[in-house]
Structure 1
Amino acid sequence: MTRPLGVILAGGAATRMGGGDKCLREIGGRPILSHVIDRLTPQVDEIALNANGDPQRFAEYDLPVLPDSLPDRPGPLAGVLAGLDWAAKRGAEQIVTVAADTPFFPGDLVAQLMAKDAPLVLAASPSGRHPTFGLWPVALRDDLRAALLEGTRKIVLWTDAHGGKVAEFPDDDAFFNVNTPEDLARAEGLA
């Protein structure tokens, strides 16, 4: 089985961080996005970045930058859809999504998601599901587009309606995401 394509979700407004791109804040002397790319690269065949606004701010990463195809930033599902559309053009059957503000996600994320032998799988840890970390079938992209146009915003509502499975990971810290300046300080300590 071929490896899926990877999509890093960075389309949010980062309001709790005071705006800007959370993924460009530094931990360990490097942007969070660099940590995410390093962790995802060995697990997938190619990577794209879902981000809105001027794509030039990510030029140094030499990744395709995929804006949401729907207006008004309807949330992470719009980023998933952008990734699925990109993957369809590349002839891929699946994508794996990861959050751009979560630098410590498991090094075996993709293997564990794919081990569930299901087309749609979300990551979970003892604290609950982590819906921005998932395996998504390209075949459902038109259904997802329709759901978004009808107003669906919650990832788990859509995945549950499609029989989504869960891959359990033992470590909550692996899915620690940087949302606030305090989180950034904690991430620096974890790094």
Structure 2
Amino acid sequence: MKQPVGVILAGGLSRRMGGGDKSLLKIGGRTLLAHVIDRFEPQVASLALNANGDTGRFDGYGLPVLPDSIDGFAGPLAGVLAGLDWAVDWGADHVVTAAADTPFFPPDLVPRLMMAVEDAGTSIALAATPDPERGQVRHPTFGLWPVALRDDLRAALQDGLRKVVLWTDKHGAAEAVFPVTRIDPFFNVNTPEDLARAEALLTEGAG
């Protein structure tokens, strides 16, 4: 498998944070987006940002900004589709996505997702973590997606599908399971309290 390209998903409405761009909030004096870029960029052949609205607010990051092609804030799958369409121009076979509000995700995300696909013989892989009560918990904004399925995804979105796992289950997605140590590596910032916790974790040397 060729090295995939990466897309940071930042197209949500951030309702629990009061609106605006969560990715531009700061911990350790730098934006969440900057922390995500630092972790993601070394793992992929090229990197883009999925976001809607005025792209000028991201000018300082040097990334192409990909808006959703499906109207109405259709959720993470719309961002995946935008990434798959962009990947065609790069001649890439796969896209890996990561959420813009998750600053401690694994630095080996991409190779582990690639290995999961190859081991399982599937076309999609999602990140997961073990949970003592719920079993393995999937993190569907962190996934490996084949460009070959972009028209299938486009049709599903146009038919009203919004839930990621309904589409991935249809295609038999593999799971790459990451350990939870001191923190959940997929801890994401949804509320002001989460932002304060992320600041504390960064100060303590998390990740």
**Which TM class, normalised by the smaller chain length?**
over 0.9
Q: Structure 2: any 5+ residue segments left out of the alignment?
A: 132-136, 203-207
Amino acid at match of 1:183: D
Amino acid at match of 1:123: A
Counting only pairs closer than 5 Å after superposition, residues 81-92 of structure 1 correspond to structure 2 as: 81-92=81-92
Q: What percentage of aligned pairs have identical amino acids? A: 68
Matches of 2:2 and 2:201, distance apart in 1: 33
Give the CA deviation at 1:173: 1.5
With the length of structure 2 as denominator, give the TM-score of the two structures: 0.91
Calculate the aligned-residue CA RMSD, in Å: 0.8
Question: Which deviates further from its counterpart, 109-118 or 61-70?
Answer: 109-118
Structure 1 residue aligned with 2:192: 181
Deviations 1:14-40 (CA, angstroms, capped at 9, x unpaired): 010011100000011100000000000
Structure 1 residue aligned with 2:98: 98
Give the CA deviation at 1:2: 2.4
Give the CA deviation at 1:190: 1.0
Structure number with bigger Rg: 2
Structure 1 residue aligned with 2:46: 46
Matches of 1:126 and 1:25, distance apart in 2: 29
Q: Structure 1: any 5+ residue segments left out of the alignment?
A: none
Structure 2 residue aligned with 1:3: 3
Amino acid at match of 1:157: L
- Which SS does the other structure have where 1:45 is aligned? coil
Matches of 2:145 and 2:88, distance apart in 1: 12
Specify which of 131, 135, 159 is matched with residue 140 of structure 2.
131
Give the CA deviation at 1:101: 0.3
With the length of structure 1 as denominator, give the TM-score of the two structures: 0.98
- Which SS does the other structure have where 2:184 is aligned? helix
Q: Does 1:121 align with 2:125?
A: yes
Give the CA deviation at 1:79: 0.2
Structure 1 residue aligned with 2:73: 73
Deviations 1:133-167 (CA, angstroms, capped at 9, x unpaired): 00000000000000000111010000000111111
Give the CA deviation at 1:126: 1.6
Deviations 1:78-99 (CA, angstroms, capped at 9, x unpaired): 0000000000122110000000
Matches of 1:58 and 1:179, distance apart in 2: 20
Matches of 1:77 and 1:158, distance apart in 2: 9
Structure 2 residue aligned with 1:143: 152
Structure 1 residue aligned with 2:134: none
Given that 2:124 and 2:172 are in contact with CA atoms closer than 8 Å, whether structure 1 keeps it comes out as yes
- Which SS does the other structure have where 2:176 is aligned? strand
Give the CA deviation at 1:10: 0.1
